[in-house]
Each structure stands twice: as structure tokens, then as C-alpha cells.
Amino acid sequence: MNVPARQTGPRILTVTPNPAIDITYTVGRQTLGETVRVADVRRRPGGKGLNVARVLRTLGRDATSLQPLGGDAGDWIARTLAADGIPVAPCRIAGETRTTVAIVDGIAHPTLFAEPGPRVTAREWAGLCETVSRNAGPGDWVVVAGSFPPGIAATDVGALILAARSRGARVVVDTSGPPLLAAAAAGAAIVKANEQEMRDAVGGTDTHEALAQLGRHGSDVVVSRGSRGAAMRLADGTVHEQIAVPGVHGNPTGAGDAATAGLVAALADGRDPIIALRWAAVCGAAAVLSAVAGELDPALLPELGTRIGLAADSSPLPAGPERSPS
């Protein structure tokens, strides 16, 4: 699928290093060791970067998705994204794109079965980096989100970040483990993870120390903490706390991806980072109220925003009568 011509203002590109076909099974109750009848099945292109792209589209942004795709599963993802109106710049690989399965019952926390994904050769990874370089430009935002394929080293992560930065783009990386450290060292503008992922990445137990370690190369660092909200450490060392939107309960799967989308949408609009962090909290809360990861109802955003003191005119929704806050 051809990538559309550059529009005015910064573009947003999402990179999903290890995409998947996401299957969600809705069941009456999760039970190990027994036959469980599935009440509903949903299949769609998945991976954190694609969830981010989907929410950005809901917010009225044109986000081009880049990801290595292989086999029949990769072909299905490309066709489905095109049918959904999400621009795709695919990179072909020899391996078969993976599948993940989420079990949801509305009682316990969803159970996720995630395949590791195919190995990507050095030549294929170079092709992904070239695709990023070819599509990114000065002032654009490149969001790299999700796990990395098996065998990818810190130098490979760095090459991906450099491909975007060399074109003048700003890079946001939402991942875990060694790739999180590699992204910070490579000069990502923002690195993001949940609290446990961040602590594990630096090998410590103190969240503020983890923030400092990840920010020592100049990145802003965002940590999500579920019902306890989030925090952002800016490059100057200041830390800003953000409470979660109160009174929200539901399915947390994909809430972090929606938060990333809200953060980037606000930053692309030129919002202050602290206001952008608040809109990340609002979009994450709206996603919790959705049954499926990577979806939210934009009509909920203004009211959720008022719960944490956000003015309606700072909304990440685009101006216009069809999306104007009531």
C-alpha cells in the first residue's frame, strides 16, 4: 500500500517491531485444565504499535504504520489495516508473523498467550530501518512500541532509533527489558514503560532511581502505574506525578497503548509535556472502558478530562463540529 504524501504539520509514524494477529476470546470464566466454551472471538492486527496507530486514528490523526510482515499472517494484517484505513509501509520478512491470544472473562485480569515471533535477519532489519528513514522527516514523531523479535540486539535497537533521528524526527519508545535501555542510550526523545518493566530493565527496586538511570542520556521518561497513575521525568531531572482518572473500572489491556497515543497526539499539537501526560491518562482511562485493546470512544474524553482538571479546549481531539467538545 502506498504511503500518502506528507501533510502539513508533523506526521506520526508507528513502528511495531514484532506485530501479531491478536485473537481475543471472551469466556464466562477463565479455568485452567478444563474445556472452556468461547462466547465471542475477535481477530485483528495487533502489537502495541498498531494499537497506538488505531487510537491515533480515533483521535483524528493520520498515523502511518511500519512493521515487518511475513507469511499468510502478515498478508492478512496488511490487507486488514488497509481496509481499516490505516496507511501501511510494510517490510517483508521470510518468517511467519506471530499470533497472540487474550482470554477475557470480565472477572479476573485477562490472560495473554504471546508467541515469540519470527527471527528477523540482519538484512530484513536493515530494510525496516531504511523504511523508517524513508518515511520520517524533520519534526515528525516516530513511535516504536512493543516487544522486539527474538535475537535483536541493543545495536539493532539503536540503529532503528538512529534511522528516525537522522531524519530530524523525534522518537518515542514504549517497550521493556534491554531494548528500553538501548533506546534511551540511542537518544530517544521519550522512553516509556510500566513500573515493573522499568525496574526490571535497570535491575533495581526503586522507581525514581530507574527514572534517573533511563533519563541520564537526555530522554524524558514516562512510567505508567495503573490505578496509581503515572509520572514523567523530564530531561532536566524534574519529576511530575499524574493521578489516574478516578472512577474508571474495566479491561486494562491496551490502556498503556492508548495512553501513548494520547501523549503523542498532544505533543504533536505542541502541547506542554505535562498537559500531554494528563491526556495520556485520559486516553488510557477511556481505553479501560472499552472491551477491546486499542479502542476508545472519543466522546468520553472531555468528561474524563474534567475529572483531573483538564480544560476541554486542550483536548487532543481535532477541532471541528464533528469532534468539538460539548
Domain boundaries, the chain: 12-19+48-97+120-314
Task: Kindly report the pTM of this predicted structure.
Answer: 0.89
pLDDT of residue 291: 72
pLDDT of residue 326: 30
The pLDDT tens digits for 302-322 are 999 999 988 766 666 664 333
Q: Cell triple for residue 11?
A: 506526521
Q: Which CATH architecture has domain 12-19+48-97+120-314?
A: 3-Layer(aba) Sandwich (3.40)
pLDDT of residue 311: 79
pLDDT of residue 37: 95
Strand order in the sheet with 88-92: 88-92, 63-69, 12-15, 141-145, 170-174, 190-194, 220-224, 230-233, 239-242
CB atoms within 10 A of CB 29: 11
Contacts of 174 (CB under 8 A, 6+ apart): 48, 52, 143, 144, 145, 146, 191, 192, 193, 256, 257, 260
User: Which residues are designated catalytic?
Assistant: 257
Q: Which residues of the chain have pLDDT under 70?
A: 1-9, 293-294, 312-326
Q: Cell triple for residue 298?
A: 472519543
pLDDT of residue 318: 60
Strands (E), the chain: 12-15, 20-27, 38-46, 63-69, 88-92, 98-104, 111-114, 141-145, 170-174, 190-194, 220-224, 230-233, 239-242
Q: Cell triple for residue 32?
A: 485452567
Q: Cell triple for residue 115?
A: 508467541
pLDDT of residue 23: 93
pLDDT of residue 72: 97
CA atoms within 13 A on the CB side of 257: 31
